[in-house]
Amino acid sequence: MPTVAKIIIAVCFTALTLLLILSCAAQGEVPDVSSGDTVQTEQPSASDTGSQQITAPETEPVSEPETEPETDAPDRDEIMELLSEMTLEEKIGQLFLVRCDAENAIQDVTDYHLGGFVLFAADFEGRSPEEAVAAVASYQSAAKIPLLIAVDEEGGTVVRVSKYKQYRAQPFKSPAERYREGGADAVLADIDEKSALLRSLGINCNLAPVCDVSADPASYIYPRTLGLDASATADVIAAMTERYTQNGMGCVLKHFPGYGGNSDTHEGISVDTREFEAFEKGDLLPFKAGIAAGAGAVMVSHNIVKCIDPDYPSSLSPKVHSLLRDTLGFDGVIITDALDMGAIKEFSARHGGSPAVLAILAGSDIICSSDFKQTYAEVTAAVADGTIPASRIDESAERVLRWKSSLGLIG
């Protein structure tokens, strides 16, 4: 046979062999060329691989069923929708928790879109419970977004409602006295009674409990504390916070980062010179416990705490707010102590600037103030000129709305 013919035959045989291999491989069979037979390859089972068998997809496309819209949207979505519908002025108003001027309260709510009122003894003196209920209801009726109605009903030296016999036969005792009488159970029993009384009047937030720790009976804050060491205070604060939450009553941990033995900031500037270790091992413990127990708000004091920020009162200090947010992990509402107290007036007189603007820039969400109209104007102007970013207002307004939602005021 000529050489050329042999080559052609060899090429054809090789091509046929390759075609046979490819055809069998596609069917899961590999030919044994040497014998001319085929060998079925064994596929590993699901039990061998430790995985489930994957089924082939449908050959015909399956149309996706139409999904029904959720009837109960997450709270955050509801809040964000509400926030998107609010004007800038309405958002700024939510950042103000102000002393109630009974004669002008309804007009103030309408004009300034206020976040809420703080009621004082004057709002209850000479009023029957029925009259107090009617007054609070009228404030709420004027509000587009339900108001926080807050009061300082700590017990002991700070009572606003139980001070008057038409509301309670005797004023609430201080938490320290109740603790001495019956331990934490007695303190919690008082919270139950306070919550019931306040709720019956339309009040939805008690500006308590006091988390401060002081070992000096002569110090300004001592009568308002539990009179216990930091660890024991932390345990009771956790229980108190949980009880307020169970009762549906807003509560506020105060006065961050801890008053210690410092002077009264109602009167003027107070400077805390302790080392940070004292706060780590003492003052911060009750706040950590209250935050872990679910507190919705924390009030920041006006003390200048040198180991944290030697230049600004805590309520105006970004460093103090960072400690609360970033170190302690608090994501709720931060409230200033009243910005018309002596410490802030003195600081502002020395350094100038708007305390409310500084507080918001530092990270506060709610401004407490009596002279709120000027303060509101200062904040509005600061947003207009870019000193306060609009996003900063949105951030705080959202927190306030979420807190209100958790108290059942929204939704």
What pTM does this model have? 0.81
Per-residue pLDDT of 100-134, as tens digits, reads: 999 999 999 999 999 999 999 999 999 999 999 99
Q: Closest Cα to residue 97, out of 353, 340, 411, 347?
A: 340
CA distance 170 to 231: 31
* Residue 72 scores a pLDDT above 90: no
- Token digits for 61? 């496309």
Enumerate the active-site residues.
266, 337
pLDDT > 60? residue 43 = no
Mean pLDDT of the chain: 86
What is the identity of the amino acid at 401? L
Which residues in 197-220 are b (16+ Cβ under 10 Å) and which e?
bbeebbbbbbbbbbbbbbeeeebb
Distance CA 290, CA 341 (A): 26
Tell me the pLDDT tens digit for each residue of 260-300: 988 888 888 899 999 999 999 999 999 999 999 999 999 99
Structure tokens at 345: 């007036």
Structure tokens at 4: 């050329």
Q: How many residues does the chain have?
A: 411
Determine the Cα angle at 377 with ends 100 and 344, to 5°: 70
